[in-house]
Structure 1
Amino acid sequence: MAIYHLTTKAVSRAKGQSSIASAAYRSGEKIENERTGEIADYTRKQEVDHKEIIGFDGSRSELWNKAEKAEKRKDATLAKEYEVALPKELNREQKIELAREYGNYLHERHKVAVDVCIHKIDSDNPHAHILTTTREVKNGNELGDKTAREWSDTKRKKHGLEGRKQDLLEARQKWEECANRALERAQVRERIDHRSLKNQGIDREPQIHVGATATAMERKGIQTERGNINRSRMDLVKLKNEFNQVQAQRVKLGAAKRVQQAQERAHADKVKALPDNLRELEQYKQREIDKAHYTDAQRVGKAQERLQRLSDKTQAQIKEHSQKKPLAPQGILKALKQGSYEKQSKEWQSQALANDKRMSQLHRRKRALERWSEKTRSEAAKRVEKDFPELGAKQRQLEARKAQRHAEIKREFANKRKKSQGQKKQKEWNRGYER
């Protein structure tokens, strides 16, 4: 996949470096340093697939010899290099066009000459070395003053410019924009981002650059120190992800457990609040069913309201139509008006039949809605019994207690009746004995 890589390097005379040697190495050419007489010969270097100069009318040798001669200090900065990774998803022409676009941006932004060299364009590591002068180009082939990019922060501040770091951030962001435009033109979904992982909100350690040599060794199965570092960081990321997943699952389970406990406490409170009176318990049960049936009742109610409006409208039409019933002709013109009367009567009768049919349909829909309401309420009652089994148990307990109490009262009355009958017989026997 496409990766973001842009680094900047300064070619400094203080480090024993030379812009001639740097340009010759990156372009795979032979260039003579006219200032020192040294020759940098890198014609044997392979994998230099494309090279071009932007913003300077002359050869590579002329450009970098003028850059060397323009600097007098022994610690002078001779050139600035931008090394960028080209997206593997692009083809050869698209990679060249992308590197050229970025080189043109550097030339227009800083007025410097730009030397673009692309290496390993068809490999897994296509990249470009973009070497720029530190001085502005004048008249097409002359180098003038130092570009503002090379000024110190103090001098930049005097001229109302931001620090040198801002130029680097701008260059990084511009490479992101150029590369993403190229990927979009190539209809590739991947995109790159110049921001750090931290600024992107990605919680993992960045990997280090392995390099061509270590990469070749890794492909042969030889583990390298850099490869081991990246593998250890990848393992750490994997462990962090697993830990975060476990932690998230733990939080989720904890939240679910708290919700369940709250539901259980609320259920226990409802069980404690159940009335001990059978009539009140029945009323409580009906309220619970009403709550469970509320949504369905709303839907049924809206449907019934619409049906009632249609019924009212149809009845009004029937009443209005009945008032328009044609009257039979009378008198001497009866024979002349009979044909018209029969026609109107036939039309009126046809409309009356249609109205009756419409009312029958509405009555059927009304009965269907009533059945639907009964069905949904029955389902709500079943849900209440399933979700609140203690309510049914309490009702059965109170019914059993009521039945037991009725049986006790019945036995009590039977005993009283039997006792009363015994006393009556005793009195009758006593009266007979006295006689």
Structure 2
Amino acid sequence: MASYHFEINSGKKGSVLEHARYITREGKFSDYEDLVDTGYGNLPRWAGGDPIEFWRAAEKYERENGSVYREYEIALPVELDREQQQELARRTVKRVVGPKPYLYAIHEPVGKLGGMNNPHMHLMFSDRLPDGIDRSPQQTFARHNPQHPERGGCKKDSGGKNRMELRDAARAQRRLIAEIQNEMLAEVGASARVDHRSYKERGIAVMPERHLGAARVKHMSEKERHEYVAGRNGRAEAKSGQAGRL
């Protein structure tokens, strides 16, 4: 079974431009050598086709303490070659983001443990829904006016949803992304499939792997790295064996 990873993040004012430059490996992040591809779309006319200009305005005009962007971090199946992974990323954007403004990047760093490639995509998008009304940058991010949409900003897709509804929406996105990946894997003739469910939901008695982070890995001894990788392989074998009995 292929590995599945889907993480939801969000960013507030003060972090937006930095993060956009981080995922596209621009500015002080240009020394990274793992960038595979980038893309953007659904930008308003005033952005002039420049996603950085869009995020600059979003950071300036979005309301205080509100989420300026949402981000999905998604692992791309290693069973696909690079061209297939890029096509998968484009399909994911189209079906997950819809008409909302977005910026994405594909990274393929070599893992600090085990030396294996780790292809994944970062998908930044705004919750603002375009409605065909031509607005200025400031008005785009103003409060939505449902009675007179032309007087307010673009409606937020997450606006008015309670915690339960947001949780259900996140679960639906997890399921959708797995479906998109499995469709692509089947299309190219790969036998592997991903599963968006947790180990517990699948009846697999294996502890999920703890993300260590680059700083912690850097300070691990060779013995500790070897033991961690061996444990990872053992967990994968146990997971595969139990999944086969379901």
TM over 0.5: yes
Match of 1:46 in 2: 33
Deviation at 1:8, TM superposition (A): 0.3
- Identity of aligned pairs, percent? 26
Residues 279-298 of structure 1: matches in 2 within 5 Å? none
Match of 2:158 in 1: 149
- CA contact under 8 A between 1:113 and 1:133: conserved in structure 2? yes
Match of 1:96 in 2: 86
Q: Please, which of 91, 112, 125 is the counterpart of residue 100 of structure 2?
A: 112
Equivalent-residue separation in structure 1 for 2:201 and 2:228 (angstroms): 25
Deviation at 1:152, TM superposition (A): 4.0
Deviation at 1:70, TM superposition (A): 2.8
TM-score calculated relative to the size of structure 1: 0.44
Match of 2:124 in 1: 131
Deviations 1:207-248 (A, max 9, x none): 222445666777x834159938x839958x97xx9xxxxxxx
Equivalent-residue separation in structure 1 for 2:174 and 2:226 (angstroms): 29
Match of 1:7 in 2: 7
Aligned residue type for 1:6: F
The alpha-carbon distance between structure 1 residues 232 and 138, as it changes in their structure 2 partners (threshold 3 A), is closer
The alpha-carbon distance between structure 1 residues 183 and 96, as it changes in their structure 2 partners (threshold 3 A), is same
Relative CO higher for 1 or 2, CA cutoff 8 Å, sep ≥ 6? 2
Deviations 1:306-333 (A, max 9, x none): xxxxxxxxxxxxxxxxxxxxxxxxxxxx
Equivalent-residue separation in structure 2 for 1:119 and 1:140 (angstroms): 35
Match of 2:17 in 1: 20
The alpha-carbon distance between structure 1 residues 226 and 52, as it changes in their structure 2 partners (threshold 3 A), is farther
Say if 2:202 is the partner of 1:221: no
Shifted more, 166-175 versus 58-67: the winner is 58-67
Aligned residue type for 1:227: Y
Say if 2:54 is the partner of 1:66: no
Aligned length in residues? 213
- CA contact under 8 A between 2:43 and 2:51: conserved in structure 1? no
Secondary structure in structure 2 of the residue aligned to 1:2: coil
Equivalent-residue separation in structure 2 for 1:149 and 1:106 (angstroms): 14
Say if 2:186 is the partner of 1:180: no
Secondary structure in structure 2 of the residue aligned to 1:20: helix
Equivalent-residue separation in structure 2 for 1:44 and 1:233 (angstroms): 32
Deviation at 1:23, TM superposition (A): 0.4
Equivalent-residue separation in structure 2 for 1:119 and 1:186 (angstroms): 22
Equivalent-residue separation in structure 1 for 2:78 and 2:232 (angstroms): 26
TM-score calculated relative to the size of structure 2: 0.74
Which has a greater percent of helix? 1
Match of 1:266 in 2: none
Deviations 1:58-86 (A, max 9, x none): 1122211121133131x121111100000
The alpha-carbon distance between structure 1 residues 88 and 56, as it changes in their structure 2 partners (threshold 3 A), is same
Deviation at 1:18, TM superposition (A): 1.8
Say if 2:73 is the partner of 1:83: yes
Equivalent-residue separation in structure 2 for 1:101 and 1:190 (angstroms): 19
Deviation at 1:177, TM superposition (A): 0.5
- CA contact under 8 A between 2:129 and 2:157: conserved in structure 1? no
Residues 391-410 of structure 1: matches in 2 within 5 Å? none
Match of 1:202 in 2: 204
Secondary structure in structure 1 of the residue aligned to 2:84: helix
The alpha-carbon distance between structure 1 residues 187 and 20, as it changes in their structure 2 partners (threshold 3 A), is same
Secondary structure in structure 1 of the residue aligned to 2:11: strand
Secondary structure in structure 2 of the residue aligned to 1:46: coil
Deviations 1:81-121 (A, max 9, x none): 1000001111111101111111112322xx42111100017
Structure 1: give runs of 5+ residues left out of the alignment: 31-40, 155-161, 242-435
- CA contact under 8 A between 1:11 and 1:19: conserved in structure 2? yes
Structure 2: give runs of 5+ residues left out of the alignment: 111-115, 141-152, 242-246
Deviation at 1:180, TM superposition (A): 0.6
Return structure 1 stretches of 4+ with deviation > 2 angstroms.
41-46, 137-152, 209-218, 224-228, 230-235
The alpha-carbon distance between structure 1 residues 116 and 223, as it changes in their structure 2 partners (threshold 3 A), is same
The alpha-carbon distance between structure 1 residues 186 and 209, as it changes in their structure 2 partners (threshold 3 A), is farther
The alpha-carbon distance between structure 1 residues 21 and 232, as it changes in their structure 2 partners (threshold 3 A), is closer
Shifted more, 97-106 versus 207-216: the winner is 207-216
Equivalent-residue separation in structure 1 for 2:191 and 2:82 (angstroms): 18
